Structure 1
């Protein structure tokens, strides 16, 4: 229903979802720091003085002695301490540290001290205002001898400031050792207002470590708020207490077993969990409203589906030429395409309509807009419903039939356990001989793109035509293959003439399918993809030329030119970061970088870019010889922890995918290569493969590596097959080559 309200305001709302957190536009307000310290003292007193028996137990049962860590007690609270719509979210854990892996995990906490909550735009931060969330962190370390040390978030240091000026802080836990217990809390306080009158909580009843006791407490003012929740996947229900002007929900579970949550699991489909909304209530229900002082539990999933269908039909029926922006221009583009491509197929016309509307909503620039042409622009998107309603309107007007697809993403709830209408996401599917699925997942989405999270899901169909008012059955969304989602690296290695320990790398990277979006967001420049799309649509003048021709906007054209130049200077940093992602370190020298293909349309399914750089750290001198850590050149590989090797949970991976590394090493004159035969691997089964071949030709060693995850899902019984290929890749990373002096 929130989407329904949005469409009444503006059918094609541009959502620039990059909220600027911790942005500092003025000198630091010393009063804010004083206020933070004062409130922190109050928070720690409140939390440490609370009587919760589980936090007094620091003894690990014998059956958990072999665990890396044991969560002795965990408590999560969601409370509204007064009627001023203030919300406190508190998580507290008491953990026994049993080994070095757990010590590393709990040795520090990363957080944003201040975080802006806003509805969109590039906003600035005002500490302690009603638009800002403030986070407090504290920890007590208990030693086996009974001594205790404390540390708090006012001692945290800034560790990173990103391009959006967001500050990341880290609170280190000094003196923490194996055998200690750490009792820590994270408290975030913010206000709920009518612009942000909704909070969504997910309480997962499980962790990577066993939990002896897990408590959840929710308390909200009856006069202001309403509560609604769903217990999923066998989770127990809350105990409710309403009265005394407060609504309270409580739950306590014990002896929760460890689960590999961070390794290919899907909590929404596999774990007991609670989804909960706390929202500002009203005196009446309806149109998405909830009655104040009321608890709504475990709603009917079929009813929610029917409501989602009804909302979509209502939105479709409201779509008309009166509320579609720039409709005249869209029609001109479509008419010209039909004149120039009289033999175009239905699929080609549908794609053209898609790209025209994408351009108008995300690529087009108007004089009054804020100048945003750097990497932030790459994360822009359109409201899913508004965009696809617009596309469908144009399809109908051009005699192309399509259905709406209401899909519950695979990392969300199943249809049988939906909680709200927004659990359904939207696509379009043409009904011709070659059905085309259309989605709206961002500025680089092509006309035939199906998000990985939608693949394989059963989804209700709603006719896109103006007369139908109900579902017409369901469809199974197509699934991509590993061949559709590829990352291919072509790498040429040579050794420095003056310094053999410096490795020179010429690299060409090609990505397709689900791999494209991340690389496009990281590397592309708005100036380049705007120009490409403008020319593809036959638009004669760029907005820069239009501004320059206008006396009123001439200065603005110059401002954009400076912004474009700054963004292009920053692109080098984007490529440096990308190289670091692959090779785990920055290059010594970045000699060249270039985008070859941007992959903006279905007719150009590949994104391709080249880099040339030099790296240290891969070659070590050994007397007259050199040792090359060849296995590390394919980047970091997954290492399965001992606790994860036995698995009872089914395997949910993001999508089927393949990685290829075609490596060519120029053997220096006067040297021979030993150890190439040890690189070879050949693991190939129904779940995946890891195959390495080597050959020597014309003074070069050629190594071809191919790693494939053949499916996005595998039952737990197939886990040993995946382990084979994952282990083979991890073992390969340890392999070395010897360059032996002849």
Structure 2
């Protein structure tokens, strides 16, 4: 009975604590909302007219970004060493307290915008502090507030009550608390005033990287930015692509005041192939507390103050300095490969074979790259993409390849290194000079020596020599090579037979270069392990996973779960290919995962039956042959006019090869067969197709090609001609006439 009473008391205390915490948050959020709604922002009180944009789904009448960062000093237990606890139990800790307000006033013009802005969700609180962070005296405490109000056409303002939020627990063990809010009463023609507010209290951590974009999926009429940064912090700002000027003044308390305002309307971003980070007017901000000893502070940020558009070479030098700080450890090869049978012997064996001429330098470098990739993927060592490349450079030296050098670049989703502001967005690369071969952080199913599409054409820089006399005349700043469409091709080969009202299809997919990204949803752990082991067991090496019975059993269980998910993924792949749900998957097989540089193809086969592609027309049969080609990008009327370059993943080429068996007792209509012949070729790309009869089969082939990774805006019309031709071809049917 006593135990039962104690449990009841504990439950009551817990519920009271939860209720108290929830009440405190609501009071805190109400205070923030009152402050935000009371701000004097003329662009929100008297927004510009949006009459010009009546055909747009929505219009951002006004936007505001307010950022404040202050240096603070806290205290913490000095637990790094036992002697510290005894002699100096308390120490000071560098902190940053920051707030970030993002507010928008949006005109709702149609149902799509109404649905989008009729519901919001938000994580209300995040707290990072665990045992490891305790020893490092690291802590991150973040609160979030969402505010929404409706402005009716007659001027009435309706504030959404705090109590309208619903608390929902999500995430692992339901520890992530989110608030979901429905916006009742919002209608087409209304304006919605919405803000997101973030308050961060960071101990031994720098502020998260800040991005401000002055272009959106809806037109923006006005955008104001106001920042206040403590003069005892280091704040670096980079503006790009015609962003408004960031003006800096200093307040009486010496804080830096930064203001910028966009006063000229900016059109919405294009729907297709637009890279906002590279193409939109934007500002990127990094804020550091240089007194922080736990979180790395780059050299360029070790002096307090404000830096607007600093020299990109200074930021590049931050990356070189960080690279130099990585400690060299010759035993690390054994640490990374120790979980593999035969792993520790590889470096010595490769060195011996390379010296004796049994393998080439390229073969040795490629093998080492795949071994390191496999090692990281199958052990518990934490993967850092830059460390991977640097360790690889060490291990090349370990096996006798002495001409490897380091370089830096960045992916399409980060700032280019010639405009960078944040060192952590820079990627490290290894280049083997003698064979002119590049090696990158692990990216998808990249084979050794392949340049991932995200790096192609991007600015890069070689590591400067320590002494001028060591320079070899090559420019240190350069552009990464760009591949051809043939390097990034997909080939779909289909053998098709008509079976009553269904089609039986055996399809083989071959993917090269950037098209190997198609494997992300279908390849599973056993495919990857088997693929890497097949590659690694060559040159006399014998590599296998080394595990006890418990780990082997756990792996077998993971494999079973993964295969069930893969079966579902394969069904979805087939449905997506034809755009039809009525499909029965019979069989599938993974052939290659695309990591062997001698045949860097990711390939798989499927066998399935699909309904809905065969229709009776009296005694004749119509086959929707167009749907045997994969789905095509559709150009909408709103896409036709474009002033922005099209940023694609890479130059690409898509081939479809169809063999359709002519059913007994039928012949092919010559007129319907002719409709499958097409040829569109221009400076942007091509779409071509040919159809012919070969004995008892119809042979149809198509080719769609994108010539460039970045297509200039002046070629947009040419590109739409290619897209239109492919989309139209997919609507065609083949008539089989009864004999």
TM-score bracket for this pair, using the shorter chain length: 0.7 to 0.9
Equivalence for 2:389: 387
In 1, are the aligned partners of 2:667 and 2:738 still within 8 Å (CA)?
yes
Alignment of 1:404-419 (within 5 A): 404-419=406-421
Query: CA separation in 1, counterparts of 2:124 and 2:592?
Result: 39
Q: Deviations over 1:196-245 (max 9, x none)?
A: 5231111122234332110123345567x542212223431134444448
Q: Deviations over 1:679-723 (max 9, x none)?
A: 443111121111222234455544322211011123222222112
Q: Which residue of 702, 706, 716 corresponds with 1:719? A: 716
Q: Which residue of 685, 689, 692 corresponds with 1:688? A: 685
Alignment of 1:9-158 (within 5 A): 31=19, 40-57=29-46, 60-79=49-68, 85=96, 87-99=98-110, 102=113, 106-107=116-117, 113=123, 136-146=145-155
Task: Return closer, same or farther for 1:568/1:37 CA change in 2, 3 Å cut-off.
Answer: farther
In 2, are the aligned partners of 1:326 and 1:360 still within 8 Å (CA)?
no
Equivalence for 1:375: none
Equivalence for 1:522: 521
In 1, are the aligned partners of 2:147 and 2:194 still within 8 Å (CA)?
yes
Query: CA separation in 2, counterparts of 1:142 and 1:610?
Result: 56
Equivalence for 1:533: 532
Equivalence for 1:333: 346
Query: CA separation in 2, counterparts of 1:511 and 1:405?
Result: 28
Q: Which residue of 215, 231, 243 corresponds with 2:224? A: 215
Task: Return closer, same or farther for 1:648/1:327 CA change in 2, 3 Å cut-off.
Answer: closer
Equivalence for 2:189: 179
Query: CA separation in 2, counterparts of 1:165 and 1:629?
Result: 50
Task: Return closer, same or farther for 1:587/1:42 CA change in 2, 3 Å cut-off.
Answer: farther
In 1, are the aligned partners of 2:270 and 2:639 still within 8 Å (CA)?
no
Task: Return closer, same or farther for 1:109/1:639 CA change in 2, 3 Å cut-off.
Answer: farther
Deviation at 1:627, TM superposition (A): 6.0
Q: Which residue of 463, 475, 480 corresponds with 1:477? A: 480
Secondary structure in 1 matching 2:36: helix
In 1, are the aligned partners of 2:447 and 2:596 still within 8 Å (CA)?
yes
Query: CA separation in 2, counterparts of 1:584 and 1:159?
Result: 35
Query: CA separation in 1, counterparts of 2:729 and 2:173?
Result: 36
Secondary structure in 2 matching 1:566: helix
Query: CA separation in 2, counterparts of 1:36 and 1:739?
Result: 70
Q: Which residue of 229, 232, 255 corresponds with 2:237? A: 229
Q: Deviations over 1:543-565 (max 9, x none)?
A: 3xx434xxxxx334323322332
Secondary structure in 1 matching 2:221: strand
Deviation at 1:175, TM superposition (A): 6.2
Equivalence for 2:371: 356
Task: Return closer, same or farther for 1:297/1:464 CA change in 2, 3 Å cut-off.
Answer: closer
Secondary structure in 1 matching 2:393: helix
Deviation at 1:79, TM superposition (A): 3.8
**Larger CA deviation: 144-153 vs 417-426:** 144-153
Task: Return closer, same or farther for 1:279/1:624 CA change in 2, 3 Å cut-off.
Answer: farther
Deviation at 1:606, TM superposition (A): 0.5
Task: Return closer, same or farther for 1:328/1:428 CA change in 2, 3 Å cut-off.
Answer: same
Query: CA separation in 2, counterparts of 1:622 and 1:135?
Result: 62
Deviation at 1:427, TM superposition (A): 1.6
Alignment of 1:131-530 (within 5 A): 136-146=145-155, 178-194=188-204, 196-220=205-229, 225-235=233-243, 236-244=245-253, 247-282=256-291, 288=299, 290=301, 294-312=305-323, 314-315=324-325, 318-321=327-330, 325-326=334-335, 332-337=345-350, 342-363=357-378, 365=379, 381-395=383-397, 397-432=399-434, 434-442=435-443, 444-462=445-463, 473-474=475-476, 475-494=478-497, 497=500, 500=501, 503-516=503-516, 518-530=517-529
Query: CA separation in 2, counterparts of 1:574 and 1:47?
Result: 46
Secondary structure in 1 matching 2:518: helix
Query: CA separation in 2, counterparts of 1:146 and 1:594?
Result: 63
In 2, are the aligned partners of 1:222 and 1:246 still within 8 Å (CA)?
yes
Q: Compute the TM-score of the two structures, normalised by the length of structure 2.
A: 0.78
The size of the alignment, in residue pairs, is 681
Task: Return closer, same or farther for 1:323/1:506 CA change in 2, 3 Å cut-off.
Answer: closer
In 1, are the aligned partners of 2:124 and 2:179 still within 8 Å (CA)?
no
Deviation at 1:428, TM superposition (A): 1.7
Q: Compute the TM-score of the two structures, normalised by the length of structure 1.
A: 0.78
**Larger CA deviation: 203-212 vs 403-412:** 403-412
Deviation at 1:585, TM superposition (A): 5.8
Deviation at 1:608, TM superposition (A): 0.7
In 2, are the aligned partners of 1:139 and 1:183 still within 8 Å (CA)?
yes
**Larger CA deviation: 710-719 vs 482-491:** 710-719
Query: CA separation in 2, counterparts of 1:653 and 1:448?
Result: 22
**Larger CA deviation: 665-674 vs 64-73:** 665-674
**Larger CA deviation: 691-700 vs 348-357:** 691-700
Equivalence for 1:13: none
In 2, are the aligned partners of 1:133 and 1:191 still within 8 Å (CA)?
yes
Task: Return closer, same or farther for 1:158/1:87 CA change in 2, 3 Å cut-off.
Answer: same
**Larger CA deviation: 320-329 vs 687-696:** 320-329
Deviation at 1:729, TM superposition (A): 2.4
Deviation at 1:658, TM superposition (A): 1.0
Task: Return closer, same or farther for 1:524/1:273 CA change in 2, 3 Å cut-off.
Answer: same
Query: CA separation in 2, counterparts of 1:425 and 1:528?
Result: 28
Deviation at 1:657, TM superposition (A): 0.6
Deviation at 1:168, TM superposition (A): 10
Secondary structure in 1 matching 2:608: strand
Larger-Rg structure = 2
Query: CA separation in 2, counterparts of 1:30 and 1:332?
Result: 57
Deviation at 1:164, TM superposition (A): 13
Query: CA separation in 1, counterparts of 2:413 and 2:468?
Result: 33
Structure having greater relative contact order (Cα 8 Å, sep ≥ 6): 1
Task: Return closer, same or farther for 1:424/1:547 CA change in 2, 3 Å cut-off.
Answer: closer
Secondary structure in 1 matching 2:264: strand
**Larger CA deviation: 250-259 vs 726-735:** 726-735
Query: CA separation in 1, counterparts of 2:467 and 2:544?
Result: 37
